[in-house]
Structure 1
Amino acid sequence: MTKYKFILSGGGTGGHIYPAVAIANELKSRFPDAEFLFVGAKDKMEMQKVPQSGYKIKGLWIAGLQRKLTFQNALFPIKLLDSLWKSRSIIKQFKPNVVIGTGGFASGPLLQMANMMHIPTLIQEQNSFPGITNKLLSKKANKICVAYENLERFFPKEKIILTGNPVRQDLIDIESKRAEALQYFNLDANKKTLLVLGGSLGARRVNQLIEKELNNIVSQEVQVIWQCGKLYFEDYKKYNSDKLITHNSQLITVLAFIEKMDLVYAAADFVISRAGASSVSELCIVGKPVIFIPSPNVSEDHQTKNAKSIVDKKGAILLKENELDENFTTVFSDLIVNQNLQKELSENIKSLALPNATKQIVDEIVSLIKN
């Protein structure tokens, strides 16, 4: 039996790293003796997160272009050449059967070099509006797995396969975990639970909003699990001591990071979230009523586009950051009292889920090896 070798690259944010790890895990379950190597950007979070998931990683000296003139931009051509050269040497040494890119700076030079060396490549694009790296790589890639329809205007049509985004497999059946989840987070079963997700680093504007609205939210018989991000935990952890006097259960739980995503989704009745691609895909599978507050600070405003693709099909509510002060209180209060709206949002977002994404992407990778 042939022993396969795979190089995967994705990083910069959890939205690029976790899909790459999910793909590697599925490949490993099919080919237990396969070899894996990840390639990331030297000082980005993948250098910690990938080894924590049990895989080896090598770092490239690469960063993105800034939008203004900076010293970092002047270094970009040197970094790019250095990363192309290092990618070539990694590929020559490791001899992969396939190279897989899930976005982020490091996947650019790595897949570019793999294409030049005639090694099959597959790109996985999470967003409804692709970043510049994947647009450039798509010309030479063998296959492009996407999570949204109508990407023909960015990618060669004949290479596109609609698979969805890889998500944690433990999210598929969360209903059965509700009792365990309420106990795990020390919640009151008689109250509704709001889950606030700010992404792995946190979202300043979302945190400011929740702090301002906390009394209003709690006064409506709602308890809160607030993932504020590691950058902001010191500012907001003071709210952790608020308990319900009668039940001694936690009224407000502030967390830097959530380890048990399946349990937190099982406990939630409503979700407020950024609209990163992985979060949107997870929330489709979870099927809870969602208010999306997209980050306006990402390239091409792709979070707004991700959210709109759900909102246009009546699967979620969209509030832009500049509308929060004016509209949040009314929108949130309407949602928690309107059971018909809750039901409609839940059913519609769930109908957009693509739960078999990881398996389908790996099927495509396997077909590249076999051919």
Structure 2
Amino acid sequence: MERLKIIVSGGGTGGHIYPAIAIANEIKERYPESEFLFVGAKDRMEMEKVPKAGYAIKGLWISGLQRKLSLKNLMFPIKLISSLMEAKRLINEFRPTIAIGTGGFASGPLLEVAANHHIPTLIQEQNSYAGITNKLLGKKVDRICVAYDNMERFFPENKIIKTGNPVRQDLLQIADKRDGAKRFFNLKAEKKTILVLGGSLGARRINQLIEKELSFFQEADVQLLWQCGKLYYDDYKAYDDKNQVNVYEFLDKMDLAYAAADIIISRAGAGTISELSIVGKPVIFIPSPLVAEDHQTKNAMAVTEKDAALLIKERDLDEDFESTFLSLLNSEERQQQLGENIKKLALPNATSDIVDEVEQLLLRN
């Protein structure tokens, strides 16, 4: 196969960026001589994260439509035209062998232009409810890799391949890390550990809940491993007592955090759910209601419908959290059942399977 030139676009959130990087890494592993160019949205986090991963990136002047009337919406047509023109210039200059999109604003113009230039195109949809960019692209691209069943609601059925979402490979074997993980975080071996995850930036409502329930957790005789996020660390670090409550801005060693956990309280981003499926621990999802098209709730429901996790909506936390949590904490059988059921949803070979599809497209063209 000739030297590959791969153009990759995905961003706006870590949920789009990290799968894009994982796919690129797998291609690079198989084809070390490949050349890569990432395309993101100017001023979004991919412009920082992608270079840190060792890849070049160009930014488009693009953003999404706001839900309410705003000046940004008035600028959208101008930004879109500008981004399409810039995407065309990048495609003509780089001359990619294939174009890959993982969602986010910038992947729309880039994959649109690539498809119009008859370049092989593949998109990866992480969520159970497809984002607007990928829904529009689905009609034009050659292959669509998904993580959930029933995605023919959004895409042509003959283009869909269920691969799952790329995940960290260090999560595949965490059972034998449990004792070391407890020591790493200075946790008491005899106490149940509750891992709280709200994303790298944090989740205001989850943090407020944990703060409110600290005495409740103390009475329940559990210890907390609480990632409160970059935006909220200064507000909650005072609760870190290294006895019952361990507060972190960000958990770098996620394999150890998952290994130490007995019960996990988490948002319901697509990447997080894919990780939790591999980890196989009982989970209480508290989805963010503020994300586009409420896709976190839909992601969580796709899991809870299979009796593989519990779901509490933010508006019901005050009324339902304590009873739901205690019921789970007091039933080892229920914990085991949920852990086993969510593990059945795991697709640990997602990154490899996606790149297999990339290879098939390249061989076909």
- Shorter-chain TM range is over 0.9
Query: Which whole-Å CA distance do the structure 1 matches of 2:232 and 2:338 have between them?
Result: 30
What residue is the counterpart of 2:33 in the other structure? 33
Q: How far did 1:96 drift? A: 1.1
In the other structure, the counterpart of 1:303 is: 296
The Cα offsets for residues 161-205 of structure 1, whole Å up to 9 and x where unpaired, read as 011111111111111211221122111111111111101221111
Q: Corresponding residue for 1:325?
A: 318
> C-alpha offsets along residues 205-246 of structure 1, whole Å, 9 cap, x if unaligned?
111101101121133221111111111111111112x133xx
- 2:120 and 2:209 mapped to 1: Cα distance? 46
Matching of residues 274-293 of structure 1 within 5 Å: 274-293=267-286
What residue identity is the alignment partner of 1:261? M
Residue 157 of structure 2 corresponds to 157
Check if 1:357 corresponds to 2:357: no
Whether the aligned pair in 1 keeps the contact of 2:103 and 2:133 (CA below 8 Å) is yes
Cross-structure match for 1:206: 206
2:179 aligned counterpart, secondary structure? helix
Q: Which residue of 2 aligns with 1:247?
A: none
Distance 1:121 1:80 in 2: 20
1:264 matched to 2:257: yes
Query: What does the per-residue CA deviation read over 1:75-112, in whole Å, with 9 as the maximum and x for residues that have no partner?
Result: 11111111111111111111111111000001011101
- Which residue in the other structure is 1:273 paired with? 266
In 2: Cα distance, 1:342 partner to 1:64 partner: 40
Q: Counterpart of 1:225?
A: 225
Q: How big is the shift at 1:122?
A: 0.3
Q: Which residue does 2:127 correspond to in 1? A: 127
The one of 302, 324, 328 aligned to 1:335: 328
Name the SS for the 2:195 alignment partner. strand
CA deviations over 1:302-338 (Å, ceiling 9, x no partner): 1111111111111000101111000101111111110
> Alignment identity in percent?
64
Structure 1 stretches of 4+ moved >4 Å: none
* Equivalent-residue separation in structure 2 for 1:2 and 1:120 (angstroms): 15
Match of 1:346 in 2: 339
Describe the SS at the equivalent of 2:346.
coil
Q: How many residues align?
A: 364
Distance in 2 (CA, whole Å) between partners of 1:234 and 1:297 is: 23
Match of 1:248 in 2: none
Q: In structure 2, how many angstroms separate the alpha carbons of the residues matched to 1:364 and 1:243?
A: 47
The one-letter amino acid of 1:279's match is T
- Partner of 1:78, secondary structure, is helix
Output one character per residue of 1:144-169: Cα deviation in whole Å (capped at 9) or x when no partner: 00000011121001000011111111
In the alignment, the residues of structure 2 paired with residue 118 and residue 180 of structure 1 have an alpha-carbon distance, to the nearest angstrom, of: 52
Could you tell me which residue of structure 1 aligns to residue 309 of structure 2? 316
Question: What does 1:49-60 align with in structure 2 at a 5 Å threshold?
Answer: 49-60=49-60
- 1:40-189 equivalence runs, <5 A: 40-189=40-189
- For 1:59 and 1:16, the matched residues in 2 are separated by 15
Give SS of 1:109's match: helix
Structure 1: stretches of 5+ with no match in the other structure: 245-250
1:249-260 equivalent positions in 2, closer than 5 A? 251-260=244-253
Q: Distance in 1 between matches of 2:291 and 2:63?
A: 15
Task: Give 3-state SS (helix, strand or coil) of 1:253's partner.
Answer: strand
State the shift of 1:296 in Å: 0.8
Unaligned 5+ runs, structure 2: none
- Structure 2 residue aligned with 1:14: 14
Contact kept? 2:174, 2:255, Cα under 8 Å:
yes
1-structure distance, mates of 2:289, 2:272: 16
Could you tell me the TM-score, scaled by structure 1's length?
0.96
Which residue identity lines up with residue 38 of structure 1 in the other structure?
A: F
TM-score (norm 2): 0.98
Partner SS state of residue 58, structure 1: strand
Matched letter for residue 214 of structure 2: L
- SS of aligned partner of 1:152: helix
Between the aligned partners of 1:166 and 1:7, the Cα distance in structure 2 is: 18
Distance in 2 (alpha carbons) for counterparts of 1:13 and 1:182:
30
What is the aligned partner in structure 1 of residue 242 from structure 2? 243
In the aligned structure 2, how far is the partner of 1:370 from the partner of 1:49?
Answer: 31
Partner amino acid, structure 2, of 1:235: D
Equivalent residue of 1:145, what SS? strand
Q: Is the 8 A contact 2:186 2:242 kept in 1?
A: no
